[in-house]
Amino acid sequence: MGRVDLPFFLKKIMNYKAYIISGCFMGALLTGCSGDYSSAPDNPSRVTEHKVDSVLGLMTLEEKIGQMVLYNGSWDVTGPATGTDDRKKLEKLKKGYVGGMLNVTSVKNTREAQRLVMEHSRLKIPLIFGYDVIHGYRTMFPVPLGESSSWDTALMEKTASVAAREAAAAGINWTFAPMMDVSRDARWGRIMEGAGEDPYLNTRIAVARIKGFQGDDLSDPATIAACAKHFAGYGFAEAGRDYNTVNIGMHELHNTILPPFKAAAAAGVATFMSSFNDIDGIPASADRYLQREILKEEWQWKGFNVSDWGAIAELIPHGVAGDKVRASELAVRAGIDMDMEGGAYEENLAGLLKDHKIPESVIDDAVKRILRVKFNLGLFDDPYRYSNEEREKKELYTVENREVALEAARKSIVLLKNQDHILPLHEKSGTIAVIGPLADDKDSPLGNWRAQADPGSAVSVLEGIRNHAPASCTVTYAKGADLATGARNFLSPLHINTDDTSGFAEALSLAGKADVVILVVGEDAFQSGEGRSQADIRFAGVQQQLIDAVHRINKNTVMVLMNGRPMNISESSGSMKAILETWFLGTEHGNAVGEVLFGKYNPAGKLPVSFPHSVGQSPLYYNRKPTGRPEGGEQVTYSHYNDTPNEALFPFGFGLSYTHFAYGNIRQDRDTFGPGEKINVTVTVTNTGKMAGAEVVQLYLHDEVASLTRPVKMLKAFEKIYLEPGEAKTVNFVIDEQMLSFYTINRKWEAEPGRFKLFIGGNSVDTDMTAFEFKSEQ
């Protein structure tokens, strides 16, 4: 849509007829600048700041507080309000006492909500519309943990861009993504929503997704504002239990948890979201050190900070506030700018100001930040810029979007095992029995946090196999067992089948007649996600019984995993001929799996998380500390388990291919360097197999002696390369002072002099090593 003429706006404020000219809104009238803003500074940010200040100067206290309120849109904005609360919300909306809404979707609904504000409120400040666009809007891409297995940041920028374009076409202009919580505990359900256990990989992926959502210009109506969440420490919830307390030190906070968020702030992410948890006794929504001192002051970030759902009011059960009045005071002083469905700010900020408990400057700062994002989105130029029904019809679930979904799905598959080269299957594979409760499931591939995807719209694994199997192969199918029973949605408890084995007989009959069995097992889509923590991460229900029974009948069994977390598959990993980790791949799940199984695509995914031998290893991560007793020998008094290995079943960065990559010797142009200097490190990788494929070349460092204990390995760089059979490529990495920096015992980021080990390889375990020294003075 084009620019909107709103002369009634200034008439109602000042009885003066004016027009929105060149996006100036009311700034020209109020500050004496010319109508085309020709006298304004050339710097666009300074122009925006001038506009923000002009709007703020017109606002009453009630209107300011209203901008700090975010309502859930579960009530019908297109019809008459029903309940008392709904009527109150409707009146506040008309008065301009609401800054934004979430969960209002479609052009029809968002336009109507915007119209209520633009036609009834005094200042006509447009609403912002938020929604959880986590891994797609209508077209579903792999769940974020799965897509992180691609280690392809360009791909993740592309999928976020497609998701933004679909969401924007449906009236949404703000997503509560990406999640960049470093997550090391497979029990935590929301591990599926992030990029795994490593700070560096999380950082690279977070920046790529922000770029995809926001593009180069946030006012482009095909982009949406991103949100860096959850700030901070949410992924370290004790015992992997969602919303639980977090116990970490200052150095762990800065070295492990904060780097992705700092990079997000530097990348210009529009919004942040505080986390539910406390850290060392201080809930994040009341943590001034995190929200104001680090985020807003040290990092100089200019966006606005929204609470998670009801998190301000939750300061009461946390036990740091006796009521919502105190909760509101703590949160606004800490630096939370917008209250998501907490009912705290709208009820209490005015009273706190009147009682001199807070200064108006904290309210003004919050409102300026919210207005700034709205100006950057172009909403003041055109409040209905996201309200084009023709674009909505055109952009959603297109063939082009599904092609991107297929590309992402292919690249996210990880080959964990391939004994006797049973994969890829081929023309002579004969009869293929497809068995398992998830084999013909068209809903679970969509994953949790599925936005507006149509239930049951994904391509199932069975469909994908039939689509891609050679004509010479016969494909049979038996479900074997149900996994989940009853309702399957975000809010419903998940009921697992724990006793019904009536389908085993048919499955075993087919397995006995087949040349190869494809066993599709794992998790229901709603076993992982928010509130979906599990103490047991083995196969739920009767699946392990089915796995064991099928394997007894047919040794040529390929396991296809569908899951949103690292699972404990140790009971069956040794007996399977091949294991394919497919996660929840989204709309095109089955086609991607079919292409990989039959060799039409060579898998290249690498794990962003470690897979345990036992849940007792959790939290499990490759970049652990060495401890004072790292080696065992024949002694028992060292850091280990008596009943399971310390190491992962499948380690971080691991993933096989249908071809083989040989690594040459690591070469570096110098062994010592100092401030302002660098070392160039190269390694030549050769495809020695018979199939073209991609490899992720990974570089790790270990600081041998430092002021603090340092991890045994830290991912510091990676590059994904594609090689034809027989082709070799030389990969170059640059090591500089910044790469060596960490938050030291001096409580600042710096590089300490000393010796470093350097590792390069195809995963975090199988690496070659060299060394160098950093000197603080030359």
Residue 291 has what DSSP assignment? I
For the stretch 137-165, what's the b/e string if a residue is b when 16 or more beta carbons lie within 10 angstroms of its beta carbon?
bbbbbbbbbbbbbbbbbebbbbbbbbbbb
Q: Is 67 in contact with 99 (CB distance < 8 Å)?
A: yes
For residue 419 the two structure tokens come to 């004994």
For residue 252 the two structure tokens come to 């762990």
**CA-to-CA distance for 89 and 558, rounded, in angstroms?**
55
For residue 532 the two structure tokens come to 């979906």
Q: What angle do CA 499, 503, 509 make, to 5 degrees?
A: 135
Q: Is 189 in contact with 565 (CB distance < 8 Å)?
A: yes
Q: Is 274 in contact with 311 (CB distance < 8 Å)?
A: yes
- At 128, phi and psi to the nearest 5? -110, 140
* DSSP H helices in 132-195: 144-148, 153-169
Pairing of strands 128-131, 431-435: unpaired
Q: Is 486 exposed, middle or buried (0-12, 13-18, 19+ CB in 10 A)?
A: exposed
**CA-to-CA distance for 753 and 675, rounded, in angstroms?**
10
**Helix H or strand E encompassing 431:** strand 431-435
**CA-to-CA distance for 23 and 3, rounded, in angstroms?**
9
152 catalytic? Reply is no
Q: Is 193 in contact with 145 (CB distance < 8 Å)?
A: yes
Kindly give, in sequence order, each residue whose CB lies less than 8 Å from that of residue 581, ignoring residues fewer than 6 positions away.
149, 413, 414, 415, 416, 561, 563, 605, 607
Residue 126 has what DSSP assignment? P
**CA-to-CA distance for 7 and 198, rounded, in angstroms?**
53
**CA-to-CA distance for 714 and 256, rounded, in angstroms?**
11
Nearest to 601 by CA among 423, 462, 721: 423
**Sign of the torsion formed by the C-alpha atoms of 446, 450, 451 and 456:** positive
Q: Is 724 in contact with 660 (CB distance < 8 Å)?
A: no
**Sign of the torsion formed by the C-alpha atoms of 495, 501, 505 and 508:** positive
**CA-to-CA distance for 287 and 671, rounded, in angstroms?**
44
Which listed residue (185, 308, 443, 524) is catalytic?
A: 308
- At 112, phi and psi to the nearest 5? -65, -40
Q: Is 596 in contact with 642 (CB distance < 8 Å)?
A: no
- Cα-atom radius of gyration of the chain, to the nearest Å? 27
- At 292, phi and psi to the nearest 5? -110, -50
**CA-to-CA distance for 508 and 365, rounded, in angstroms?**
66
3-state DSSP assignment of residue 579:
strand
**CA-to-CA distance for 733 and 219, rounded, in angstroms?**
36
Work out the angle between the directed axes of helices 461-468 and 589-597 (0-180°, nearest 10): 50
Side-chain-facing half-sphere of 355: CA atoms under 13 Å? 9
For residue 143 the two structure tokens come to 């769940």
Q: State the maximum Cα–Cα separation within the chain, in Å, rounded to a whole number.
A: 89
Nearest to 260 by CA among 183, 312, 185, 332: 183
* Active site residue ranges: 308
